[in-house]
Amino acid sequence: MNLFKNNKKININTKYSPQLDHIRAVAAFMVFSWHFTTFNNFHRVTPDIYLFPISLLTEGHTGVVLFMTLSGYLFSKIFENKKINFIYFYLNRLLRLIPLLVITLIINLALSNQLDLFTFFKKFIRGFYQNWDGVAWSISVEIKYYYLLPLILFLLNKGKRYLFVIIFLSILLNIFLFLKKNEFQHYAYLSIIGHLNEFLLGMLSYRYRNYIKNRKKELLLTLLIFMVFYYNFESNGGYYDIPRDAKIWIILPTIQGFFYAFIISFYDNNNFKFLKSKKSFFLSKIGLFSYSIYLWHFMFVFKMPEVINDHLIKLDSLYLTLLFSLPCFMVTALLCSLSYYALEKPWLKHKKKYAF
């Protein structure tokens, strides 16, 4: 196992971009910190107004949106002007996602004393048409996106305007479901219906990359507006306490997708000095391990602050708890590097080239 090799050999369908691994690392930390601050219900504590950007951590579920928007961006990057062998594409996605997912599913069933062949098979198959349990629900949502991907690519190749039409129709569908069900939070967070626009905006942001890459002032303004928006979202209750029938759920996925698509495209298409530093290298490694971090952290992230509080220091504030989430995240990343090299990478060696 060599932690100091780059990732080029496993990126056979596109040129390796450390920026995208940086984004994966940030997204993983957002989700990790959100779960970490459930200790003493600090995730329901709104930060002081002068620290309003922290809302992106105390409402760190938005890190999942960052992952999903990144997926749309990446596939648009891979598929542009290419012929696609979709058999190999789906094979590669199964090799990337399923082996570790199966292992974590088995362990979760064993820990809950439900491990038997029938229960495992039922829960495993369910994820392909409903959702897997725990954090794996988002993997189920992404798989639904793969089902739609050939049609989306066909329309995108006909013209970018078709994706804008789909985004508009998706919002109309959200409104229709909201009026019919009198709530939309479930769809906004746990289904492809809510998350589709995030993938689509990610795809469009790659196609508009030449326009976005030089928009530094617009990016900074968008970043400020988004952070203020998210602080206001949390101040009004956030994910847990804003009513399920609030209208904000209709448009929230699209707002998040727009911002993350903008920042992903800008970051990936600018040549920052930071990219040649050691910090960049280690951040990209964390991004490489992000899938393992995402699937494994749920098993111990809630216990970590309890151990710290009982044996090291009283975590009696949101800020102190967030501070300790960072070293705990680094320890988690180190442990999950073992998972990547032992349980993920051996399967990735069998990936096929599918974009020509």
- From residue 149, give the alpha-carbon distance in Å to each of 71, 76, 146: 11, 10, 5
> For residue 48, what is the DSSP state?
P
Task: List the one residue out of 151, 154, 189, 226 whose CA is nearest residue 65.
Answer: 189
Whole-model pTM? 0.94
1 pLDDT higher than 70: no
Reported confidence tier of residue 7, pLDDT bands at 50, 70, 90: low
Q: What are phi and psi of 355, to 5 degrees?
A: -115, 120
Per-residue pLDDT, 204: 97
Average pLDDT over residues 89-117: 94
Per-residue pLDDT, 273: 86
- From residue 131, give the alpha-carbon distance in Å to each of 136, 142, 196, 250: 8, 10, 15, 21
Could you count the other beta carbons within 10 Å of the beta carbon of residue 287?
A: 24
CB 347 within 8 A of CB 76: no
Whole-angstrom distance, CA of residue 325 vs CA of residue 331: 10
Average pLDDT over residues 1-15: 58
Reported confidence tier of residue 4, pLDDT bands at 50, 70, 90: very low
Provide the β-strand partners of residue 84. 355
190 pLDDT higher than 90: yes
What three-state secondary structure class fits 84? strand
- From residue 181, give the alpha-carbon distance in Å to each of 31, 129, 166, 245: 28, 21, 22, 9
Whole-angstrom distance, CA of residue 76 vs CA of residue 304: 38
Which residues are CB-neighbours of 147 under 8 A, at least 6 positions away?
none
8 pLDDT higher than 70: no
Average pLDDT over residues 101-128: 93
Per-residue pLDDT, 9: 52
Q: Which two tokens stand for residue 89?
A: 């594409």
* pLDDT per position as a tens digit, 32-65: 999 999 999 999 999 999 999 999 999 999 999 9
275 pLDDT higher than 90: no
CB 86 within 8 A of CB 354: yes
Could you count the other beta carbons within 10 Å of the beta carbon of residue 1?
A: 9
179 pLDDT higher than 50: yes
